[in-house]
Amino acid sequence: MSRQPSRFKIIFEAASPAVWVLLVIAVLTTLYVWQRPARRYDGLIFWTSARAHTPAYAPLIETWNRNHPVDSKVNMLLLDYGALERRMLSGFLSGTPVSDLIEVERNIAGRAFTGPVEDVGFIDLTDRLRNEGLLEKINAPSFGAWTSRGRIFGLPHDVHPVLLAYRADIVEAAGIDVSTIETWDDLIRAFRPLMKDFDGDGRPDRFILNFWPTNADITFALLLQAGGQLFDEHDRPVIDSEINARVITTLATWSTGSTRISVDAPEFSAAGNQLRLQGTVIASVMPDWLAGVWKIDLPALSGKIKLMPLPAWTPGGRRTSAQGGSMLGIPKTSRDPEACWAFAKELYLSPQLAAESYRALSIVTPVKQFWSLPVFDEPDAYFAGQPAGRLFINQAPNVPVRSSSPYGSLAMARINDAMLSLVTYIEATGETDVEKLLPETRRLLAFAQAQVVKQIDRNVFLRPATNAEKPAASK
């Protein structure tokens, strides 16, 4: 009876030389990484994923480090957006140390507020801000995205007010006076003659607005502008509110059928930029930071673009909104919270940072005393000589307050689902009258509301207590 070869021998003989080469490389790489000493930093670690912010931070950090002992020295580390989110949340959930300071964007920050307020991974800054008078010095709405259950966990980096950018060369050549435009209805009436069919195919080749139902950021900005919200002051969903229903219905009618006025020209894309350069889209919703992006990505439009306040949804209504945002927070595991707090104020409350952030990125500061800096009144050649900074700052006090709910992204996803379903309904029925469409919109938003409520109710720390869970009243 012949002896069966061992399993190892079979694998050894079957493997090609290339496999063994790869195995040897893997073993050697593992040994190298294992024996390589971890990099050590003296002082405090500061994480950010905002590459565009770092050039303005660098000189201020250098000055701080010259004037403070080694233990308080700040080391700024640039992390990928996803890596920062994963490291921060894994540290908060496991109670293990992360960095000493973290600059986070609002979508990441909201996820840190999922559990009990006392277990939020960031230090509560509310009392510090109040005692040092910073609640009055900083634009009040800028705290909203960093506030959970009445407590503030971050120092705001920005305001990000929103204006409307439009092709002044096209609009003014048509003799349109934008100073007569107050509402979205006014804008559509004034700009509709510009929607022309240049190639004779019976369809317009130019559209009034850059908007599409899949663009959650613009949808959210326009909901906020109208007075809509995703959550109430107690962080309970209000997705199916009447204001939301009317805005969603109107936006859907802008996107399809005989009432269509919008085109999909995505930001940060070659296709979208080409549509802007060709004049296919006349107007775009523009937060301050996007103005800085256009200057880099679309230099050919310099001098052809002007800014105006967003048209209001109703006469006398809000003429701005907010989009995006970052905060600087101090994790509870920070080695020196007091030094971190001192540095956070030195950085974010610096007039140098306020001026440089605007010059380099078009971002206006939330610190109200710096709104009088001359840099904001300088004529901007890109915007045909307008003082763009002043136009953004004029709207800064009026930006809407935004919820910090960790379920914000989920809520917007369900709202976008509802709008896409409504667009399909409009295309199937041919109906474009907002009043006649409202019952269908209400039905779709009620379903979206139920989905989000169901998800939130799984979180015992955010859902309201039932009668059985409420503590007995004291006697």
Predicted local confidence at residue 27, as pLDDT: 75
Same domain (yes/no): 129, 63? yes
Is 361 part of any domain? yes
Domain that holds residue 217: 167-323+394-458
Same domain (yes/no): 209, 357? no
Same domain (yes/no): 267, 197? yes
Predicted local confidence at residue 465, as pLDDT: 39
Give the span between the Cα atoms of 22 and 186, in whole angstroms: 67
Nearest C-alpha neighbor of 459 from the set 393, 399, 389, 410: 410
Nearest C-alpha neighbor of 331 from the set 125, 57, 116: 125
CATH of the domain at 287: 3.40.190.10
- Collapsing DSSP to helix, strand or coil, 31 comes out as helix
Same domain (yes/no): 82, 119? yes
Tell me the per-residue pLDDT of 405-457, one tens digit each, with 9 for 90 and over. Answer: 999 999 999 999 999 999 999 999 999 999 999 999 999 999 999 999 999 88
For residues 317 and 310, the answer to whether their CB atoms sit within 8 Å is no
Predicted local confidence at residue 202, as pLDDT: 84
Is 332 part of any domain? yes
Query: What total number of domains does the chain contain?
Result: 2
Which parts of the chain have pLDDT scores under 50? 1, 464-475
Same domain (yes/no): 376, 330? yes
Q: What is the dihedral of CA 165, 169, 170, 171, to 10 degrees?
A: 60
For residues 426 and 256, the answer to whether their CB atoms sit within 8 Å is yes
Give the span between the Cα atoms of 49 and 79, in whole angstroms: 5
Same domain (yes/no): 182, 110? no
**The two structure tokens encoding residue 75:** 């080391």
| Strand arrangement of the beta sheet that strand 207-210 belongs to | 262-263, 207-210, 281-287, 162-167, 305-309
Predicted local confidence at residue 3, as pLDDT: 56
Nearest C-alpha neighbor of 193 from the set 181, 166, 175: 175
Same domain (yes/no): 80, 210? no
Is 83 part of any domain? yes
Same domain (yes/no): 121, 219? no
Predicted local confidence at residue 234, as pLDDT: 84
Pairing of strands 155-156, 326-329: antiparallel
Given 333, 354, 381, which residue is the final one in a domain?
381
Give the span between the Cα atoms of 306 and 320, in whole angstroms: 16
Same domain (yes/no): 301, 356? no
Is 252 part of any domain? yes
Same domain (yes/no): 79, 171? no
Predicted local confidence at residue 33, as pLDDT: 55
Tell me the per-residue pLDDT of 317-364, one tens digit each, with 9 for 90 and over. Answer: 999 999 999 999 999 999 999 999 999 999 999 999 999 999 999 999
Is 464 part of any domain? no
Is 12 part of any domain? no
Same domain (yes/no): 317, 404? yes
Is 88 part of any domain? yes
Is 290 part of any domain? yes
Residues counted in the chain: 475
Same domain (yes/no): 198, 81? no
For residues 249 and 438, the answer to whether their CB atoms sit within 8 Å is yes
